[in-house]
A and B are shown apart, each in its own frame.
Chain A
Amino acid sequence: MVKIIVCVKQALDVAEIKIDKERRVPVTAGVPLKTSDFDKNAVEEAVRLKEKLGGEVIIVTVGSKEATSTVKEALAMGGDRGYLVTDPAVEGSDTLALSNILVGVIRKIGGFDIVLCGEASIDGFSFQVGPRLAEKLGVPQVTYVHKLEVKNGKVVAERSVEEGLQVVEAETPVLITVTKEINEPRTPTFMDIVKAAKKPLETLSLADIEVKKEEAGEEGSGVKVVGLYSPPVERKNIVIEGETVEEKAEKLAEALVKEGVVG
């Protein structure tokens, strides 16, 4: 039996972001939200472990009311119950404040064997939440995992680091962050979605999880975003013309030699 808590994030669908070419800023208005890709891998892995070993998968998220759909999606994938922390004071939270909030929910849930997170989120891409949570929960962390096994109160995980692959071992309770390669997240069926609607989903305020307002939002953060811009691409943009492929290739070879980048 394993008790797994999966932290998921509702992120901006970055593939839909356009750039305002005049003002050189990203346009996020109207961009749809979706469950961050790696978090789906985390949910999938949790559900697979539960299917194999028995136990419970608990989904946790922090966000606006709209993030309910992300919790529901994870429940449809096989989560057993879910929590959404939503509170006006959450706005502007960086990874420091966010980890304070997540720790609040996790403490409320009680003990766990494994906390699973995606290695990063598709929009912020900071890689921070997993390790920060591990520290605040006082458990070891195993990051960038692409293969995971749980046996006899231990996790054995394969992860990639700069110089190659590592197989590591840690005792539970433990926090694990997963990569995209770990699995192929399932697509819930219609029946899964219908069933998920009946699963417990609790909405919590900061007060419910005993997190102080000053630990969340901008006040609880250590970093503040002060600007966003999309710098223009400074490239030569030369399309090589020619009658034949050989002629074009010849011109390209010449250009590369002139640039001093080959030879």
Chain B
Amino acid sequence: MSRPTPNPHAEAVINLVALEHNVRSIAQLVAPAQLMFAVKANAYAHGLLPVATAGLAAGASSLAVLEIPAGLALRTAGVTAPLLAWLHGTETDFRAGIEADIELGISAVWQLEAIAASEANRPAVVHLKVDSGLSRNGATIEDWPELVRTALAAERAGVLRIRAAWSHLADASVADDEAALAAFLNAVAVAEALGARFELLHLAASSAGIRMPEARFGLVRIGIAAYGISPFDDRTGAELGLVPVMSLRAPVIETSVGGSRLARVAAGFADGVPTIGLEQASILVNGVRCPIASVEVDSLLVDTDGARVEVGDVAIIFGAGDEGEPTAEEWAEWAETIGDEIVTSVAPRVPRVYLR
């Protein structure tokens, strides 16, 4: 039995070249629509600032930040691109967001009231959101006219400027998304009849942005596809020409564990390695796929049958797939989830290493 190495840990390698490739190729696909790059949840756990910067350099014209504090972090770091935040709570500091020129997705009248009460030193720029069937955020079809009327009154009062109307799709089926598109267009017509004028409409995220050209309008919001992961169940990222951006690696820290052919790798569930679907899961150790035997808090055990493994060798838990390692999509299938959750679950304690 070998002795454990002194300070081994997992690391997440973030391939910014792959990210730029994905953003550039999707930008070409959706043109002339603009590409808004979704960097919510710390850029899907890839690291907000380096990823946002790379995405803008590769052709994104704006960033979707989810919430005002994330937008403020980008502004503090010097990012001047348009930002959109749409997840707001009762304690949200609207004034800080408006004064940092963060555009606001607005779903309800109480949010317009909070903007009016914020006493910001400039008008808010708002994107009015209608619920086209997802039943999450956005005004229902019934509540939509009141939202539009209240926004128009606030616009006349100089409190805000209505820039866009938008919605979000359920990606349930092409037919469901087409029904949602019709509901969205109907809501836009209702708003225009009430006097609203929209400079911009947006509806599609990765899925519809790729498969539904009529949903692209002036802007497509791209998240998961930019990170190299397919938004579809039946097509891989590779089949779409995307390259996975994140790779999770960790060193082997012990071989012949307890005299067996198991080896210990320094990544556990506290690093974000899933614990579901392990009977199918395998990772790459020295070019060989090794089945996972168990996942503990700080480490996992692999069966090294057939592989020559030494302490210090690097295991690839997931990556681009080009060396034979599993992708986040493959893990998602094992763990009964989507690639989005596999990458966002990689823990903050895992250092991000940026590759160019």
Co-assembled chains A and B: no
Q: Which residues of B contact A (CB under 8 A)?
A: none
